[in-house]
Each structure stands twice: as structure tokens, then as C-alpha cells.
Structure 1
Amino acid sequence: MKNSPMYFRFVLMSLMISVLYSCNISKNIQKTSKSSFAKGADVGWLSQMEATGYKFYDTDGSEKDCLQLLKDRGMNTIRLRVWVNPNDDKASGHCSKEETVVMALRAQKMGMRIVIDFHYSDSWADPGKQFKPKAWENHTFSELMTDVYDHTFDVLSALKSAGVTPEWVQVGNEIPGGMMWPEGSTKNWSQLAQLLNKGYEATKAIDAKIKVIVHLDEGNNSEKFRWFFDNATANNVKYDVIGLSYYPFWIKKDYTETIADLANNLNDMATRYNKEVMVVEVGGEYDKVQNTYGMLAATIKAVKAVPNNKGLGVIYWEPQGEKSWSHYSLSAWQSDGKPSPALDAFKE
């Protein structure tokens, strides 16, 4: 049988079908990666939640993988933060290079696109705090530039070795006042620009197609964004995408009062700087389901409406971080372990 002409024809046909199938899958992945709107979640807490025994359930009560629950609600993108030398605190630790690689690979195997968010800190970096990693505290500015490059390159190399090349990389997290204070403060734009460019250069050294994001908070605040990115332009900062956070809760106004400002700022950023834009963090109050649903739907609509397809996507920050575990009120998960109906806004 194995030496018969029929057997060889069968083998040849099987190989051709396999090759054609693989090519079609590859084309579909490439098409999705390049053209579809990114709808996603930052899930930096997920590995810790699972390690502490937290269980996730679908609406019918069946236990299910959290990433699958997010995918079932229309999400196609996962964002992961990276800290340099984090501690093991449940809520403010973890997110090491090694944990990031494991979660990124898991998400990619489920067909998710990946955003990597470099904080350049050992814990949270945001507008109120941009602390250098402990290991870098006594370094000269020249050494800090090398640190940024090497850390960025190291993490992305580890991801690439595991078979993951992120579609987007954030150089810094919510940096209206700069990062890695005091050296990288906006009080010294020349130095901040050099640090940002080292992150950009390390990213492009891994893969030139990865898009680099620079990220600010208060996405509705046009004055803040113009000031920052005018200075970035003047100091020759290299980046591809303007990232925005949008949290009506922290703005202390309902989304109905600020969504027009967000839309105007998105359009202004895309036009003024000829860049793509993405809402990389958004969130609403977990116990105001209908309001959060409306806010998400309006935010998605605003980003999709940016001219020339420059609005790339919307990412919810820690929707799975249910309050009894995280003590965070802007998640989108119910106390019974099930996703909030607010996340249905991500469905087509």
C-alpha cells in the first residue's frame, strides 16, 4: 500500500491541503492584525487572581478561562504591564518579564493581539509617581539611557524567543510629567526625549513593524495633550501612536459631559501630529452597569470616527479585577465571578 501510486497521490494531496490551510490561516491572522479595530483588556492582575484561587464564570454559571470570556465579548487584544524588579505583593507586584512572557504567549495562542506597557519602574508609574527602579537609582543619565534600551530590548527579546511579537509597545505609562523622575521629568524635555527615544530604538531593533505608543492621562484634556506633544515634536521624540486614558470617574464628570471633548481631542491629535490614536485605558464604575456600557459604546464610537482610520482601538483597564479581590471599583466584573453586561459594548 505504502509504495502504491494511490498512496503517493494521497500523501501529495494531503500536503497541498495542509499548505493551503496554513496559508489561509496566516493570511487571516495578518489581515486581522493590520486592519481590524482593537478591542481589548489590560489583564495585569490575571495571573495573580488565578494563583489565589479566583474562579471566572460565564453567564450560565459554567467555569471558563477569563481570556475566553473576554474574547466571547468581542475582545481581540490583551495589554500587559511590565515592571523591572517587582515584589510579590498581590495587587502591586508581579508583572515581571517572565510572567509577562507566559501571559502574552497564552493570550496569543487564543488569537489575541498584544500590547506591552513598559512602566520603567518596579511598581506603578502614573501622573503622580514615576519612580526609577531601585537598581537604577544611582545611575548617571547616560547609564539610565542604556538601562531603558537594555530593559526594553531584553523583555521584547524574551517575548520574541517565545514566539510573541507584540503589535504595540508603550514607552512609559501615563507620562504627562515625564518618567523616571527627576532625570526624565518634563522639567528637562531634552533628557525625557532621549529616554523615550531609547525605548523606541530598542523596540524597532526587535521588529520595525511594532508601533510605539506614548501615553498620557485625561484623554479629554486637549490643552494637556497639545502642550505635551508640541514639546515632544520640538524635541524630536520618536513614536507612532498617541495613547490616551479616559476615566470619567477620575475626571469627576459623567461621560456625557466629557465624551465630546475626548472625540475632539482624538481628532485633533491625529490631525495636528499626523499620528494614529488609541484609548489604551478606559474604565467605569462596576456597580453602574448601564452607565459604563454607555460610556464604552460612546468611547468606541469616538475612536472609530477618527478620520482616515487613525483611531486604532479601545482597551479596558483590568475589567476582570473584581472588587472583592482587587478593591478596585472601576473593574467590569460581578461579585459572582461573572463578567458585567457592560462589556457587551465591545461586541459588534
Structure 2
Amino acid sequence: MRASRLLSLLLLLQTRGRMTATDLAEELEVSVRTVYRDVEALSAAGVPVYADRGPAGGYQLLDGYRTKLNGLTAEEASSLFLAGLPGPAAELGLAEVAANAELKLLAALPPEPRSHAARMRERFLLDVPSWYRGADDAPHLGEVAEAVWERRPIKMTYRRWGKQEVERVLNPYGLVLKGGSWYMVAAPAGGSPRTYRVSRVLTLCTLPGHFDSPAGFDLATFWHEYSKEFRERMYKAEAVVRLAPGMDDLFAYTMGADVGAAALAAAGEPDAEGWRTLTIPIESITHARWLLLRMGAAVEVLGPPELRSLMSEAVAELGKMYG
């Protein structure tokens, strides 16, 4: 256990440069006193690590020192190849680079981790887009990625929902791939970050100068909070329905895994005929009508009255069409 921690400490200093004992303790999830002991152990082993005193000080490796030891276990090496996404890499113009990096990593691994990694690549594949939905066509993705990487502001024409076109000058903080679609997290100078679907960018040019991301901004944290708030904003109302027996899988597929599972878990006991009453979040009355009609007679809407009325009207129209 300690050997693994010492290696992690060494690699942290090698990849990040100067770090304080407090920062190292947080990364390694140990006490500051343990960090002191581990640094002494590295020094005793001949690793040229030294401390800078003062408020801006910390531990640092001697300039030019590098270790070729990566310490990857077979499972760790395998996970790196499972994380490889050739499709997104190609979209970013990095397909050849990613392939070369994979070959070099395989060549550098000892026999056992190399064998695990090769099997992982042969037997597992990550396919990001969902069924019956292709990836977005995003012709400006490469330009956006370059601006994100170089921290350059951009000026773009963007098509909002409803096909309204707007012009924006933004600082692009990062890119996120979600369900086969690329999203740019960006903000005007001094403004709050928002998300923009890259496939909706109509024109784009990179502007002179550079920008710095706001202090404390973390792309993963922002996206997690944004996704949570988006779900809360999307479901503005509730509906009450009765679900026929044996239709749990169809209901979960229709409503979405998260919503379906939550509604089913909170449902009461079945009635004498096996039907269960569920409360489900909905985006709107009209959207819920479209969604629930897909289930046919497997579901009955109990409320709200407006939704039940719309369902009744739709069924009557269908009866006329097919009667």
C-alpha cells in the first residue's frame, strides 16, 4: 500500500510540478504528517525531491528529473484502453495521434499488463450515440476545440431553439460529449458560463488575444451541476397514471431509465387486477400526451384532467381514422 502511495506522490510531482504538503495530502487522502514521512522516504531512495519554504513554497522535483516507471497494474492498463473513444478522437482530428499513443503505451507495458490491455481492446467497445440516433454533424468542432485548447475568444453565429439566429462573443472553457452530441461550455467576458450545442454553430471565427478561466472553475463539476439543474427545469409538472401488469420494461423505456425507475420504485401495491398507480414528472401536457400514447392501452392517465382530456381526444381521433 505504501509503495503505491509513494509512486503516486512521485507521479504527482512529476506531472504537476510544485505542490504543497496540504495539496498532496488531499490528493492522496492521507494526513500531512504522512506526506512528510513519504517525502523523506523518497529522498532516502535517491529521488531528488526538495522543499521550497515560504507561502508560495512546496515540494518539487529537481529540474530535468523524470522517471520512466509508470507503475500500471494490469487492470489500470486495461481501463485506459476501455476509455479510448476512436469516434470522438477522429471528430477532434486526433484519430492518428490517439492510435499512435495507444501503440506506444502497449509497447511500453510489461507482458502481463500488455496482455490484459490487448484483450480489453479486442473484447469491449464503447459506442456513444444511442440507438436510432446518429452523432451530430458539427462542422465547426475542430475550430471550437482549437479555441478551447489555446484559450482564444471566439465570435459565432448560433441557431437557438426555434431557429432564431443570434451572434455571440464568448470565451470557450471546455467541450463535453454527451450522447453523441458535442456541447461547448462558454461565457462572455465577465459573464456566467452556459452551454452551446456545437452542431448549432453556423459561423465561427477566432478572435485575437487570450483569456483565463475563472478561478475555481472545473469543467466536470460545472457539467454535473448543469445536468442536475437541466433535469429539474425540464420536468415542470406531474401526472398520475395507472400501469398495466407486466409493462414495467415498456414504461421504463418510454419514460427514460431514470424517470421510469424512480416512478416504479415509488409506486404503491398493485390493485386486484395487477395495475399500479404511479406519479411521473412531465415536461408539459402536450409532451406527456405524445409520450404516453406510445404505450397504447398499457397505461391510463388519471390526472391532471387536461392531460386525460387530451388523451381521450387523441384516442377518439384514432378511432375515427381506423374505425
What is the TM-score when the length of structure 2 is the normalising length?
Answer: 0.24
**Bigger strand share:** 2
Between the two structures, name the one with larger relative contact order (CA 8 Å, sep ≥ 6): 1
What is the TM-score when the length of structure 1 is the normalising length?
Answer: 0.23
Larger Rg: 2
